[in-house]
Amino acid sequence: PKYVYLFKEGRADMRALLGGKGANLAEMTNIGLPVPPGMTISTEACKEYYHIGGKMPAGIMDEVKQYLTTVEEQTGKKFGDLSNPLLVSVRSGAMFSMPGMMDTILNLGLNEQTVQSLASNTDNLRFAYDAFRRFIQMFGDVVLELPKHEFENLLHRQKEEQGVTYDQELTSESLRKVINNYKEMIESETGHPFPEDPMVQLTMAIEAVFRSWNNDRAIIYRNLNKIPHDLGTAVNVQSMVFGNMGNDSGTGVAFTRNPSTGENVLYGEFLTNAQGEDVVAGIRTPRPIAQLKEEMPVIYDQFEKIADLLERHYKNMQDIEFTIERGRLYILQTRNGKRTAQASVRVAYEMAKEGLITKQAALLLVEPNQLDQLLHRQIDSGAKLNVIAKGLPASPGAASGKVVFDSDEAERMGKTGAKVLLVRMETTPDDIHGIVAAQGILTSRGGMTSHAAVVARGMGKPCVCGCEPIRIDYAKEEFTVGQLTVKKGDIISIDGSSGQVILGEVPMKEPEISSEYSIVLSWADEYKRLEVRANADTPEDAKKAREFGATGIGLTRTEHMFMGQERLPFVQQMILAETLEERLEALSHLLPMQQGDFYGILKAMEGYPVCIRLLDPPLHEFLPSQEELLIETTELKITGKDPKLLAEKQQLLKKVRALHEFNPMLGHRGCRLGITFPEIYEMQIQAIFNATVELTKEGYNVLPEVEIPLTIDVNEMKIFKEKIVAIAEAAMSAANAKFHYSVGTMIELPRAALLADELAEYSEFFSFGTNDLTQTTFGFSRDDAEGKFLPNYVERKILKENPFIVLDQKGVGKLMRIAVEGGRKARPGLLIGICGEHGGEPSSVAFCHQIGLDFVSCSPYRVPLARLAAAQAAI
């Protein structure tokens, strides 16, 4: 099989085979951009490496050697040659970009002999030794897996010996000593001398990249981003160019638009006289790209044109890595740029306005889950802030938390529920778990494209980076700014939109929505077929839902209206009633209250349907717990003060015991309550229609949908349907009014899904309650599952996802298909929706579109996301 491809043999659409980096290097080569020549070893080779138990597949290196001769021709250099040696970089690159997750080796091919040729060809011994020093260090770290800090210590010791602070101040003699010390250390730690043979170096490096696919950081990143573990990585072997050959050289990273705001300006950073990773590693703080225009105007011009060309070519904002070698520009990487939600919306909007892409393409450019970020909290602008420092605004949103300097500690404290802010000089991929656990990240070094910044933006976490005024002392676990000392555990806040670091907690407020955002979402409404409703129990929620673009309520839970101090006593009285009269008495107090609730919600949603579910939870949820009552009665018995109260509490305890269920989730709840206590449902139905009559008379067009929960059989539906119709008819004739209403059922038990055709006879609509349907299909109770065994199932890949978050299309989805088909066969045009939490999860929304539902319903805050997801499903 062919494992190796020259850059000119590949294309952008070969990502799966060549990895994202390789495919784009190929594409750029073929559109004529200045890419240093090279080749890509395919992901197939990596898969084969693992398939045969972690061994290099036979013949791979022969292929590499063969293609190397082409690269030699293209560059005029020869690998391992003594007069004009070709040096290469070995770069990992998987199908999905995994920033900083796997390591790159630069300057490979150097040894004691070639380093001398490099020195004489460039007339710069110091440069050659520096390149060699870096190579040995990267090779030692990535390939030989020796601890980084051992190299850093040796380097540091040499700086001390020479009496300098910075790497670039080291003389060639000092670098020579560092190289010797590195080599000695490698030999003593590994038992083998540093490999001088370039081909051995190359073979080992390629194998190390294959290996790195399964290092801990890579696995965590893939788990976090739901990237499959079996894709493998490609390896790019590319001829080196040098950004560290003097002041007419440099290296940088730039986005074609501002990744934080979306503004259409080149946005990036560069360093002169620096090699590769110096920018991304955040070790020196780079300068804004705009300054390149002043320093190297011709190069800047050329780069701007290339950036524009790449954006037009890929029809997406690009993130470009470049290097300048002695006044010549090279492009080393391009990929779709990661961006904040705000930038994402603005870029999509502006690209469509600029005519670069269609509206549909613009909608596909925005990741629905990202819209959540736009609902991030901001610091209240009226607040008085004690700003102690300012860094770079790397990822928007504000966060407060206890200062923590260590990622393990951040994780530990995060697990106890503490809000922490991770403060580091810089972060590396080893800090991922700390970043996950923290509310926000603050670093003292590194630019907008440093590791911390990139990762935080991806996760939608607030981040301030490159905050140089703060001096961190890891040993003392504190940082200082001027006179001020902030210790571990002290609370600070950061504002990732302004870069401010603030002492103490700050008041936060909800964000304002931009006009681009509203327009892009209105485009979504043009293309989506699914109606997006919201789950809302109060008029306030209903109003919010309308603001966010909901066109109906998919679920109003009436039980929330049974809570509250002035209501609960009547609810309890209703439950405890020994006779029908007593129960009706209690219900007569609840009726006007419920009527008022329905009035408010129906009015807030005027013109749109409101689906009201009759009482669902088991009655004991409205009573005190057995434990509580036992303590109270015991106390009352001991003090003997209030025998009347004691008798009441004892009576209550008896009732609570009687209502006790072994498995309330499968117990006396849902419409089973309506069967056994018909007067409860009758009161609710009456309240709905009284409110409807009131509003109709006031001239409002309201559309109540009465929904029966937890049905299992058509006979239940028949009873409720007849009752609802009778009460509605009576309400209409008593008030001499006419209104629209409909009657339907939740589908949340497998039996209901299987017998949906029968249920449809008495149902004008179905709504999938996928929370319960998931519980009952799997036989998992959610709380037990998520707390006890589900994480294990997901970790071991027995289940791909937590089915309570991402709809289980295979199992639960199959029941849904059966119900849709059955329901529509019995009643063509049957209205069908979903109101479980899955209604606000993008892949589940797409599934609902696919199986022909009419609406999804989710929490008001997720409505924008669902609108976009629904549009994407339809495009």
Smallest distance, Å, CB 836 to Mg ion? Answer: 8
Position 629, amino acid: L
Residues numbered 785 to 824 that lie near ligand ADP (CB under 6 A) are: none
Instruction: Specify whether the CB–CB gap between 451 and 307 falls below 8 A.
Output: no
If the CB atoms of residues 104 and 809 are measured against ligand ADP, the closer one turns out to be 104
- DSSP class of residue 37 equals -
A 10 A CB-CB count for 200 gives 11
Instruction: Please report how close the Cβ of residue 731 comes to Mg ion at its closest, in angstroms.
Output: 27
Query: Active-site residue numbers?
Result: 451, 835
Q: Would you say 870 and 524 are in contact if contact means Cβ atoms under 8 Å apart?
A: yes
Q: CA 468, CA 456: separation in Å to the nearest integer?
A: 19
Question: What is residue 787's DSSP assignment?
Answer: I
* Per CB under 5 A, 776 contacts Mg ion: no
> One symbol per residue from 32 to 71: x for binding ligand ADP (CB under 6 A), - otherwise; what is it?
----x-----------------------------------
The sheet with strand 484-487 has its strands ordered as 471-473, 478-481, 484-487
d(CA 437, CA 433): 6
Would you give the DSSP letter of residue 845?
A: H
Comparison of 241 and 815: residue with beta carbon closer to ligand ADP: 241
Using the rule CB under 5 A, is 707 a contact of Mg ion? no
Instruction: Verify binding: residue 241, ligand ADP, rule CB under 6 A.
Output: yes
The verdict on 320 binding ligand ADP (CB under 6 A) reads no
- Among the residue ranges 4-12, 100-108, 125-133, 615-623, the one whose residues contact ligand ADP (CB under 6 A): 100-108
772 binds, among Mg ion, ligand ADP, none (CB under 5 to 8 A by kind): Mg ion
Distances (CA, A) of 31 to 8, 23, 254, 325: 10, 12, 20, 21
C-alpha 767/C-alpha 788 separation (Å) is: 30
Residue 829 labeled ligand binder: no
Stretch that binds ligand ADP, among 121-129, 233-241, 782-790, 804-812 (CB under 6 A): 233-241
Please tell me whether 772 is known to bind a ligand. yes
> Under a CB-based contact definition with an 8 Å cutoff, are residues 87 and 239 in contact?
yes
Residue 36 or 769: which CB sits closer to ligand ADP? Answer: 36
Which residue in the shown chain puts its C-beta closest to Mg ion? 772
3-state secondary structure of 383: coil
Tell how strand 318-325 and strand 484-487 pair up.
unpaired
What tokens were used for 283? 């070790």
C-alpha 409/C-alpha 474 separation (Å) is 13
Other CB atoms within a 10 A radius of the CB of residue 813 amount to 19
Q: Which does 655 bind (CB under 5 to 8 A by kind): ligand ADP, Mg ion, none?
A: none
* Closer CB to ligand ADP, 446 or 554, in the complex: 446
Question: Can residue 427 be called a binding residue for ligand ADP (CB under 6 A)?
Answer: no
Is 430 marked within a binding site? no
In three-state secondary structure terms, 106 is strand
Greatest CA span in the chain, whole angstroms? Answer: 105
Rounded to 5°, the CA angle 549-553-559 comes to 140
Please give the residue whose beta carbon sits closest to ligand ADP in the complex: 276
Nearer to Mg ion, 251 or 595 (CB): 251
Residue 277 makes contact with ligand ADP by CB under 6 A: yes
Q: CA-to-CA distance for 318 and 338, rounded, in angstroms? A: 9
Instruction: Identify which range of 46-54, 234-242, 594-602, 646-654 contacts ligand ADP by CB under 6 A.
Output: 234-242
Nearest approach in angstroms of CB 36 to ligand ADP is 5
Select the binding partner of residue 36 from Mg ion, ligand ADP, none (C-beta < 5 to 8 A, by kind): ligand ADP
User: With 0-12 CB in 10 A as exposed, 13-18 as middle and 19+ as buried, what is 205?
Assistant: buried
Please list the alpha-helical segments (H only) found in 664-755: 671-676, 678-697, 714-735, 750-754
276 binds, among Mg ion, ligand ADP, none (CB under 5 to 8 A by kind): ligand ADP
CB of 236 to ligand ADP, least distance (A): 7
Binding to Mg ion by residue 772, rule CB under 5 A?
Answer: yes
CA distance to 112, 371, 439, 513, 799, per residue, from 376 (Å): 55, 9, 12, 11, 31
Q: State the pairing for strand pair 287-288/267-272.
A: antiparallel
Question: Which entry of ligand ADP, Mg ion, none binds 174, CB below 5 to 8 A by partner kind?
Answer: none
Beta carbon nearer to ligand ADP, 332 or 413: 332
x-or-dash string of contact with Mg ion, 203-222, rule CB under 5 A: --------------------
Q: What is the rounded distance in angstroms from the CA atom of residue 658 to the CA atom of residue 645?
A: 20
Query: What does DSSP assign to residue 788?
Result: I
Determine the Cα–Cα distance for residues 273 and 244; give it in Å rounded to an integer: 4
Binding to ligand ADP (CB under 6 A): which residues in 326-385? 332-333
- Smallest separation (angstroms) from ligand ADP to the CB of 30: 18
Q: Pattern of binders to ligand ADP over 140-159, x per CB under 6 A?
A: --------------------
Single out the residue of 333, 449, 493, 859 in contact with Mg ion (rule: CB under 5 A).
333
Judged by CB under 5 A, does residue 686 bind Mg ion?
Answer: no
Q: Does 748 bind Mg ion (CB under 5 A)?
A: yes
- 411 or 808, CB closer to Mg ion? 808
Report yes or no: 574 and 680 within 8 Å, Cβ to Cβ.
yes
Give the annotated binding-site residues. 557, 613, 748, 769-772
Give the annotated binding-site residues for substrate. 557, 613, 748, 769-772
Instruction: Provide the binding-site residues for ligand ADP, judged by CB under 6 A.
Output: 36, 89, 91, 100, 104, 106, 238, 240-241, 251, 276-277, 321, 323, 332-333
Instruction: Provide the binding-site residues for Mg ion, judged by CB under 5 A.
Output: 333, 748, 769, 772
